[in-house]
Structure 1
């Protein structure tokens, strides 16, 4: 017999919680912020907005719906079940943070602060949360499937991201490698790393780089399976070049990197501690992932 649905609430520790961890008491946290020209009332209000959103959705769910809650920093150790419905309460980046750990489970993005968050991925008001959970359970929800990017090491290890992958030195300093691009050949490079982004990521890190290079119109759309890649600050020398500075990857095409530094890393969506280490001589390939984000839009 199949288990009933479980709603897993995903959240990120608020600035208020982090302040209390660091300063132990409300008074000390308030003094710390005041000494830097800030008010604790604003920080507390943001914390309470997130908690209120979670409380509204969780207390409105039917009694037969099991519930769990996981913090962003624990996602790489959390086991999601096939029947789970994920509710991300917070900023857009929280959806990206959880997407890489899922295998098709639907994700509902709840925006507790519409005046602060863009709402690209967390599109729904807290008051809509219970209705959307019910639509998912009944098979009536509108699902938007978003492409993801995957890195694969030559030893079989993989890493998936929704927005973008960073490939390069763990300290974002000089990275040495040989880059091979489909139909464009290979080039030895020394750079501050490579960014490979999806259509979803075209509003993030990729957008910033593309804007600086007047390439915004070239980025993939959110519905596209294509990827965009950019080499950051490639350094030309007698041994290294910068001809392969940017490009795209159609579905099925792979970007290849062979490390020529002692240690490079690959990590996705800003979660640096969950990464693939790339040793000297190892080969990493990057392309569109088979898995997709199942984003509930209505």
Structure 2
């Protein structure tokens, strides 16, 4: 007999809870915010909306289903199963934080603060959760397959991201490396820069778009479901030993961008989570490209 589906509710600590953890009491947190020209009332209101949304979504899980809950900080230690339906209750960024740990499980995005969140990935409201859960678990459940980007190091370590992967130096130093793009048809180029960014169509609403806009790039931004990535080198530095001829491009499925480290240490992280990163040292290489895994977002 097959297992009943499991609803996994993903959430993050609210700003109010973080303030209480830091300052101890409501009064101390209120005083801290007031000293910086803010009122705690709005923070508490958002906390209550988030907690109410979690309560409503949990109540909407079918009675015969199993259920679990995981906080964002614990995602890297949580074991998702193939029969899970993942319900992200929070902001768009929380969907991206969760996506890298999944292997094809459907995801339902629930917006806890409509009007404050863009709602690109958290498209639904708490009252919709019950119908969405049942639809996501059924064979005909409608999902969008959102393209993801992956980094695979030469020691087989692998990193996934929904928005973008950043290759760069820890802190504010300069990264030295050799860059080779499958699509360029030219030899690898030694470079010195503040890093390289490779992003998806979902990421094209954020960091990748800002670089694309700043460069007045002629490259066409991908849609979230396009199996195509854009990449940009950030602040490439020309010198007798380093070049700047390969600073932007696109990658289709099967194509890759290979970076070989010529610095003491470089980190590769996805979707802004530098705490969960690959660490590479001199001589190691990493290949970035379209991931075989995609995010199945319930629509």
Question: When the two structures are superposed, what TM-score results if normalisation uses the length of structure 2?
Answer: 0.97
Q: Per the alignment, do residues 266 and 296 of structure 1 end up closer, same or farther by CA in structure 2, a change over 3 Å counting? A: same
Q: How does 1:32-111 map to 2 (within 5 A)?
A: 32-111=32-111
TM-superposition CA deviations, 1:230-273 (whole Å, max 9, x none)? 00001111111111111001110010000000000100001111
Match of 2:243 among 238, 241, 244: 241
| CA RMSD after TM alignment | 1.1
* Cα drift, residue 137 of structure 1: 2.5
1:49-70: per-residue Cα shift (whole Å, max 9, x none)? Answer: 1111111111122211221111
Once residues 285 and 141 of structure 1 are traced to their aligned partners in structure 2, the CA distance between those partners, rounded to angstroms, is 34
Query: Aligned equivalents of 1:221 and 1:194: distance in 2?
Result: 21
For the residue of structure 1 that corresponds to 2:31, the secondary structure is: helix
CA distance in 2, matches of 1:102, 1:183: 29
Q: Report matched runs for 1:126-141 at 5 Å.
A: 126-141=126-141
Correspondences of 1:268-287 after superposition (within 5 Å): 268-287=270-289
Q: Residue 221 of structure 2 aligns with which residue?
A: 219
Matching residue of 1:146:
146
Query: Aligned with 1:69: secondary structure?
Result: strand
Distance 1:172 1:219, change over 3 A: farther
- Could you say what secondary structure the match of 2:283 adopts? coil
CA contact (8 A) 1:167 1:267 kept: yes
Q: Structure 1 residue 30: deviation in Å? A: 0.5
- Structure 2 gaps, min length 5: none
CA distance in 1, matches of 2:219, 2:119: 22
**How many angstroms does 1:141 deviate by?**
2.1
Q: Residue deviations 1:40-91, cap 9 Å, x none?
A: 0111111111111111111122211221111111111110011110000111
Q: Secondary structure at the match of 2:44?
A: helix
What's 1:192 paired with? 194
Tell me, yes or no, if the aligned pair for 2:148 and 2:163 is still in contact at 8 Å: yes
Q: What is the deviation of 1:182? A: 1.6
Q: Tell me, which stretches of 5 or more residues in structure 1 are unaligned? A: none
Residues in 1 aligned to 2:84 and 2:218: alpha-carbon distance in whole angstroms? 36
> Does 2:217 correspond to 1:210?
no
Q: Deviations over 1:112-160 (max 9, x none)?
A: 1111000000000111011100112233421100111110111111111
Which aligned segments of 4 or more residues in structure 1 are displaced greater than 4 angstroms?
Answer: none
Distance 2:190 2:22 in 1: 45
2:231 alignment partner in structure 1: 229
**C-alpha distance 84-266 of structure 1, shift in aligned 2 (>3 A):** same
**How far apart, CA to CA, are the structure 2 residues paired with 1:130 and 1:233?**
48
Using a 3 Å threshold, how does the CA distance of structure 1 residues 197 and 80 change in structure 2: closer, same or farther? same
TM-score normalised by L of structure 1: 0.97
Whole-Å Cα distance in 2 between the matches of residues 222 and 124 of structure 1? 18
Q: Which moved more, 1:207-216 or 1:228-237?
A: 207-216
> Contact 2:183/2:255 (CA < 8 Å) preserved in 1?
no
Deviation at residue 214 of structure 1 after TM alignment: 1.5
Distance 1:93 1:250 in 2: 25
Q: CA deviation at 1:173?
A: 2.5
Cα distance in 2 for partners of 1:104, 1:272 equals: 24
